[in-house]
Amino acid sequence: MKIHLLLAIIGTYVAIVVSQTQEGFISLDCGLPVEESPYVNEFNGLTFTSDSTFIQTGKSGRVNKNLNDVLSKQYLTLRYFPEGKRNCYSLDVKPDTKYLIAVSSVYGNYDGLNLDPSFDIYIGRNKWISTPRSNSLDICLVKTGTTSPIISAIEIQPLRDDTYVTQSGSLRLSFRVYLNNSAGFIRYPDDVRDRIWDPFFGSSYTQITTDLNINNSNAYEVPKTALQSAATPRNASGPLVITWNPKPSNAQVYLYMHFAEIQTLEANETREFDVILKGNFNHSVPMQCDSGGCRLELVRTPKSTLPPLINALEAYTIIEFPKLETSPSDVDAIKNIKVTYRLSKISWQGVNEIHVSLKIGR
C-alpha cells in the first residue's frame, strides 16, 4: 500500500486541555527517610515518597554533598544492598494496564570509595511498553561481585491502552526524539505520561518552529512543546532521511511518526509526501530492517508545493515472551522476565536510567 500523508492547513490551533493529575503514578525516592516523605520535585512537579514500605532490606545512603546542587532531589539519596545475593522491590500495579517504569541509579561516591558498583538488575537496560496481567511487579537487584547494588529512584506511570498496540510481545524503546536543533529534553509536566523526548537534528535538515498552540489531541498525547518544531530537508526538493541501527539487527521494529503542520499554508500551497521504509512503499507491521540498518525517507510527491516535514519520532523493537501465554501465574511470569531481561555486570556511572514497561502475560 502506498502511503500519502496530506497535511491540511489548520486555520486555528487549539491546545488540548489535559488533566495534570498524577493518578496511577508511583514515584519512589529510594533511601529517603520517612520523615522527609513526601515532597514535590521542583524540577517536574512530581510527588515523591520514601521507598521504605516497598522493601524490607538494604540500607540508606546519601551521595557526596558536593553533588547536592547538581542532582535532582530524588538522586540525592539511595538504597544500597551490602547483604544478600538478590534484593527485590514488590510493587502493586493494576492488572491489564500499560505502564512505563523508570529505574534510576546514581552512585555519587556515597561510600567514599570512588568505586562504581557493578551488579545485575532483572528488568532491562532500555525502555519498552506492554501490559501486566498480575497485580504485582518485582524489581530485583542482584550482587555479582564485591560491590553493593544501588538504586536511587523508581518511577511508574500508566499509559493509555489504545496506544503502542502490538500483536504480541513487549516494546523496547530504541529512541524517542523530537526534531529540534537546540532545545533540551522534554518530559513531565509537558508530557503527561512522563515519557522522555530527546532533541535530534541532522545536518541535512532545516528547522521550522512556531509559537502557536498545536492540537495534540490524539491518543498518543505528544507534548505540545515537541510538536512546535519540525524538520524539513535542506534541499526542499529532496527527501528527508533518518537512519538508525536496531539492536539486535534482525529485530522486529515498530515506528511511530508524529506530524503536525506548523506553518500557515496559502490557498495554493500543499504539503504531501510519501513515507518510504527500506526503499518500499509497502510496510508490514512490525517490520524488519535490512542488514545495513533502518532507513526512513519522507519523499515529496509531484503535486506538493512544499517539502516533507516531521515533528517527532519513536522507534521500538519487539521482545517476545513465548512462555507467558501458557504460564500466566505470577511466579512463572516473573521468572520469564528475569531470564529475558537479565543484564550482566552493569557499571553504573553518573545518572543511568532504565525505562521499561513489563508484560506479565496478556
Domain shared by 93 and 144, yes or no? yes
In a domain? residue 361:
no
Residue type, 199: P
pLDDT class of 123 with cuts at 50, 70, 90: low
Domain shared by 193 and 309, yes or no? yes
Domain shared by 102 and 40, yes or no? yes
Q: In the predicted model, what is the mean pLDDT of the chain?
A: 78
Domain shared by 10 and 76, yes or no? no
Residue 316 DSSP label: E
In 3D space, the residue among 101, 158, 156, 88 whose CA is nearest the CA of residue 127 turns out to be: 101
In a domain? residue 200:
yes
In a domain? residue 24:
no
Domain shared by 251 and 275, yes or no? yes
Domain shared by 307 and 220, yes or no? yes
Domain shared by 146 and 225, yes or no? no
pLDDT class of 327 with cuts at 50, 70, 90: very low
pLDDT class of 132 with cuts at 50, 70, 90: low
Number of domains in the chain: 2
N-term to C-term CA, the chain: 30
Domain shared by 14 and 43, yes or no? no
pLDDT class of 129 with cuts at 50, 70, 90: low
- pLDDT tens digits along 54-101: 998 999 999 999 999 889 899 999 999 999 998 988 888 887 777 777
In a domain? residue 362:
no
In a domain? residue 26:
no
Domain shared by 306 and 339, yes or no? no
The dihedral region occupied by 301, where left means phi > 0, alpha psi between -120 and 50, and beta the remainder, is: beta
pLDDT at 109 (0 to 100): 94
100's CB contacts (< 8 A; 6+ apart) are 127, 129, 156, 157, 158, 159, 193, 194, 195, 355, 356, 357
Domain shared by 85 and 160, yes or no? yes
Which of 43-47, 197-201, 296-300 comes out lowest in average pLDDT? 43-47
Domain shared by 175 and 110, yes or no? no
**Residues forming beta bridges with residue 187, ordered by sequence position:** none
Residue 127: other Cβ atoms inside 10 A: 23
In a domain? residue 75:
yes
Q: Measuring CA to CA, how many Å separate 196 from each of 45, 192, 353?
A: 15, 11, 11
- pLDDT tens digits along 336-356: 433 333 333 333 333 333 333
In a domain? residue 254:
yes
In a domain? residue 222:
yes
**CATH number where 137 lies:** 2.60.120
pLDDT class of 102 with cuts at 50, 70, 90: confident
pTM exceeds 0.75: no
Q: Which domain holds residue 129?
A: 31-164+322-356
Alpha carbon distance 357, 172 (integer Å): 8
pLDDT at 6 (0 to 100): 30
Domain shared by 110 and 43, yes or no? yes
Q: Is the pLDDT of residue 136 over 50?
A: yes
